[in-house]
Amino acid sequence: MEIDEIVKIIKKQILEECSKKQKIRVEASGRHIHLSKEDAEKLFGVGYEFQVLKELSQPGQYAYKERVRLIGPKGIIDGVVILGPCRNKTQVELSVTDTRALGIEPVLRESGDADKTPGIYISNLDKMIKIDSGVIVAKNHIHMTEKDAEKLNLKDRQLVKVKILNTLRPVIFEDVIVRVNNNFDLSVHLDYDEANACLLNKDSYGEIYE
């Protein structure tokens, strides 16, 4: 068999294999805060009802119109969006760039795993609270349902590689956590530092490599 013919066969196999991969929506998640009910009442008053600005891609999650200020040892960040509904414990999710601007150690954690992480001051006008822990740089992850996981032959908590495509700077992210829950909607979540690193745009998408 001629070399040119072998190359054509290999190319065909590669194209067929690529066509089997599912294109997955990729979203950039900006800095935000999840407030506990107790902390929300300290900052906004007992019985305060937040105003929903928009629903997020994940069902039952939404952004409020209200904003808070973060005060760190070296800097301040205003206009931090609050995501609802309230959680059991207040958690702040930032990029590494944000933590450096505030003067806080960047601690990479999965959302919800905030023990022994840095604290910060949070204010709303003349009201201010301090949390002793809860500031994290969220690990990138993939939301999916059980049906999605079965189709993609993946399991909850599995670590995979995700290649970001249809961008001027394709990037492969390693150790991306698979999170399976039937309340989820299939999507890859990156923070703004990661999104900027791969020049993410509205037409970009991800493909999973185990």
Domains of the chain: 22-27+140-209 (2.40.40.20), 30-138 (no CATH)
Q: Which pLDDT belongs to residue 207? A: 95
Are residues 98 and 55 in contact, defined by beta-carbon separation less than 8 angstroms? Answer: no
- Residues near 68 by Cβ (< 8 Å), separated by ≥ 6? 33, 43, 80, 82, 122, 123, 124
Q: Which pLDDT belongs to residue 13? A: 60
How far apart (Å, rounded) are the C-alpha atoms in residues 64 and 54? 7
DSSP H stretches of helix in 52-175: 96-102, 146-152
Q: Which pLDDT belongs to residue 181? A: 94
- Residues near 75 by Cβ (< 8 Å), separated by ≥ 6? 101, 102, 103
- Residues near 100 by Cβ (< 8 Å), separated by ≥ 6? 106
How far apart (Å, rounded) are the C-alpha atoms in residues 46 and 102? 29
**The one-letter amino acid at 68:** V
Q: Considering the entire predicted model, what is its pTM?
A: 0.86
How many angstroms from the chain centroid is the CA of residue 2?
Answer: 49
Q: Which pLDDT belongs to residue 7? A: 60
**Dihedral pair phi/psi, residue 35, rounded to 5°:** -95, 145
Handedness of CA 151, 156, 161, 165 (dihedral sign): positive
Residue 184: how many other CB atoms lie within 10 Å = 18
Please state, rounded to an integer, the average pLDDT across all residues of the chain: 92
The token duo for 185 is 């909607």
Q: Coil, strand or helix: which one is 98? A: helix
Which conformational region is residue 38 in: left (phi greater than 0), alpha (psi within -120 to 50 degrees), or beta?
alpha
The token duo for 66 is 């209200």
What is the DSSP secondary-structure string of 9-26?
Answer: HHHHHHHHHHHHSPPEEE
In this predicted model, what pLDDT tens digit does every residue of 140-166 receive, in sequence order?
Answer: 999 999 999 999 999 999 999 999 999
pLDDT in tens, the chain (210 residues): 567 776 666 655 654 454 457 899 999 999 999 999 999 999 999 999 999 999 998 888 999 999 999 999 999 999 999 999 999 999 999 999 999 999 999 999 999 899 999 999 999 999 999 999 999 999 999 999 999 999 999 999 999 999 999 999 999 999 999 999 999 999 999 999 999 999 999 999 999 986
